[in-house]
Amino acid sequence: MADTLHLAADPVELTAELVDVPSVSGAEAELADLVERSLRAQTGLEVIRSGNSVLARTNLGLPKRVILAGHLDTVPVNDNLPSRLEDGVLHGLGTCDMKGGDAVMLNLAATVDRPRHDLTFVFYDCEEVEAARNGLGRIERELRSWLDADLAIVCEPSNASVEAGCQGTMRVELRTSGVRAHTARGWMGVNAIHGVGEALRRLESYSARTVDIDGCVYREGLQAVSISGGVAGNVVPDLCVLSVNHRFAPDRTPEQAEAHLREVFAGFELTVTDSAAGALPGLGTEAAQELVRAAGGTPVAKLGWTDVARFAALGMPAVNFGPGDPTLAHTQQENVPVNQIRQCREVLHRFLNED
């Protein structure tokens, strides 16, 4: 392995180099070391290390600051290493999610020589595991001032389009209860599984909202994700538990989403088991508008939940912008078209560097 990476060279080669250093969540040390050494070799950057995260920033006293963020970890290896370039597409674990984006960020750290805004680069660990281990969360708790900025760009795969904001997510549990009885005398009991029929009926006929915010169209959803009930093959069951996942547009807070679900499932015992706020697209700010213009095209709504929401919660506009198709993330055959890597690098360089 190279002692440092050649950051200013081709971001496609850089992507392959990053991919070929495995960095499954919790085992990012080797890659973080390499990224840290490579960034420290640059001039004009303040670099610090936090666990397996590496942070770097300019301190030029410019009026505005832009954060670029990317996680270093991947989901587990699935017989998809090392990287392989074929017909303009780079294949392998992490190519899409999200070492292509990391490579773009590293290249920018070395090539934006006349920045229009001060820049902060955040390469963090443990994004692909439970929220409590997320490196960005740790940085927020321990190095809060490193996250002050006017715009955050999370370089997660977005097909090289600006994906703005993100939807919120909420999981609720509906429990129906009944009265046990022997099935030979079923009329002496109350069947809790039958009682769930009405909730499934409402799910089936649910009409999800489509919400337009700043030109971004968010399509909501309400889906049963698990169901379980039953005591024995000859017993009328007295309990059934249905879990439902709601994805809601960022014009609603989690509290408003919960109130909506309580209305949809009126008459059922409902418990919120998990929720995360969405993020408004925040495209009204000048910095965000500049990025949209640099990217060309029309920004689209981010439907999944990403760490964009963490930045939005800190009070700044935040967008996703990175190479790769997000629907390929976490699949064995994940890949990234190399032209998207180059395109993202060009757009961001145009946005961040003085002409």
Q: Is the dihedral of CA 90, 329, 135, 55 positive or negative?
A: positive
Stretch that binds a copy of itself, among 59-67, 100-108, 195-203, 279-287 (CB under 8 A): 195-203
User: Is 128 assigned a catalytic role?
Assistant: no
Please tell me whether residue 328 binds a copy of itself under the rule CB under 8 A.
no
Q: Does 229 sit near a copy of itself (CB under 8 A)?
A: yes
Say whether 138 sits in a helix, a strand or coil.
helix
Query: Site size for a copy of itself, by CB under 8 A?
Result: 48
Q: Which listed residue (240, 277, 292, 338) binds a copy of itself by CB under 8 A?
A: 240
CA distance 242 to 246: 13
Stretch that binds a copy of itself, among 87-95, 125-133, 156-164, 190-198 (CB under 8 A): 190-198
- Per CB under 8 A, the list member of 303, 308, 338, 344 interacting with a copy of itself is 303
Spatial CB neighbours of 37, under 8 Å, sequence gap ≥ 6 = 3, 4
- Contact between residue 322 and residue 157 where contact means Cβ atoms under 8 Å apart: yes
Which of 76, 88, 197, 296 touches a copy of itself by CB under 8 A? 197
Out of 17, 36, 73, 325, pick the active-site residue.
73
Q: What angle do CA 107, 109, 113 make, to 5 degrees?
A: 105
The pairing of strands 163-164 and 300-301 is: parallel
Q: Count Cα atoms within 13 angstroms, Cβ side, for 18.
A: 34
Piece in contact with a copy of itself (CB under 8 A), picked from 80-88, 228-236, 281-289, 338-346: 228-236
* Segment near a copy of itself (CB under 8 A); pick from 78-86, 165-173, 254-262, 313-321: 165-173
Q: Does 224 bind a copy of itself (CB under 8 A)?
A: yes
Q: Which residues contact 142 (CB under 8 A, 6 or more apart)?
A: 50
**CA 340 – CA 323 distance, rounded (Å):** 5
Angstrom CA distances, 327 to 45, 322, 340, stand at 34, 13, 15
211 binds a copy of itself, rule: CB under 8 A: no
**Binding test (CB under 8 A) with a copy of itself, winner from 144, 182, 262, 293:** 182
Applying CB under 8 A, among 126, 236, 283, 288 the residue interacting with a copy of itself is 236
Query: What backbone torsions phi and psi does residue 79 show, to the nearest 5 degrees?
Result: 55, 40
* Interface map 37-66 toward a copy of itself (x if CB under 8 A): ------------------------------
- Cross-sheet strand order for the sheet of 163-164: 46-50, 53-57, 118-124, 65-71, 151-154, 318-320, 163-164, 300-301
**How far is residue 195 from each of residues 238, 251, 268, measured CA to CA in Å?**
10, 33, 10
User: In this chain, which of 143, 254, 260, 305 binds a copy of itself, going by CB under 8 A?
Assistant: 305
**Of residues 36, 97, 127, 220, which has the active-site annotation?**
127
Distance in angstroms (rounded) separating the CA atoms of residues 104 and 155: 8
* Residue 196 makes contact with a copy of itself by CB under 8 A: yes
- Contacts of 43 by beta carbon, 8 Å cutoff, 6+ apart: none
Would residue 20 show up in a list of annotated catalytic residues for this protein?
no
Contact with a copy of itself (CB under 8 A): which of 57, 65, 247, 252?
247
Least distance in Å: CB of 294 to a copy of itself? Answer: 27
Interface residues with a copy of itself (CB under 8 A) are: 167, 169, 171, 182-187, 189, 191, 193-194, 196-197, 200-201, 203-204, 208, 219, 221-237, 240, 242-243, 245, 247, 274, 303-305, 327
Residues designated catalytic: 73, 127
